[in-house]
Amino acid sequence: MENHIHPTVFKVSSKQRKERLKQSPKLIWFTGLSGSGKSTVANAVESQLFEDGYMTYLLDGDNIRSGLNKDLGFSKEDRIENIRRIAEVAKLMMDAGLLVVSAFISPFRDERKMVAELVGEENFLEVFVDCPIEVCEQRDVKGLYAKARKGIIKNFTGIDSPYEAPINPAVHIHSDKEELTSSVQKVIQTISANICH
């Protein structure tokens, strides 16, 4: 079948955008169980980066699923497609020169590897927000774990769908033991050397 898709070559390059913003685009990828504190830490990290003068954007699971990916369910195939689309959006934002902060359960190692390969492994910083499932359940204001245990929600990570923890994350946060400010500082310290010229 003949290919009729011919991407445009833009006059403004990724390098020019990077130079204009005086920062190196990165994807800071928060992963962990529902209720682990991913969104809380990611939000605080983006806020700190923005306050420090960086141009940023935060991508978060529920927000993306209420718009771009509202047509997807929670089967393994749909979860992989969810993450693939998010990675493509993140790549576009990085091409624009932004620091992209993302918070997604992203339970499978292969899908996180796919994201890293898509944006370039040198641009991908994995942050594991580690928290025992018992604590996640106690924090669960939405009642999702209770629904999953009753079988109302199917394919729920940690209950009837697996979570594959990162083997060698750039940052490992224990959200049940650390103060938020301490967790944020760990992430900022890890990325600060990589985001300036």
- Active-site residues, by number, are 106
β 56-60/27-31 pair status:
unpaired
Rounded-to-10 torsion of CA 114, 118, 124, 130: -20
CA 68 to chain centre: 15
Task: Measure the CA–CA gap between 174 and 74, rounded to whole angstroms.
Answer: 26
Those residues with Cβ within 8 angstroms of residue 142's Cβ, 6 or more apart along the chain or in another chain = none
Positive/negative CA dihedral, 76, 79, 62, 125: positive
Structure-token match 């940690």, residue found: 158
Task: Give the separation between CA 37 and CA 17, rounded to whole angstroms.
Answer: 32
The C-alpha R_g of the chain, in whole angstroms, comes to 17
Give the span between the Cα atoms of 110 and 81, in whole angstroms: 12
Q: What share of the chain is helix, strand, coil (3-state, %, to 5)?
A: 45, 15, 40
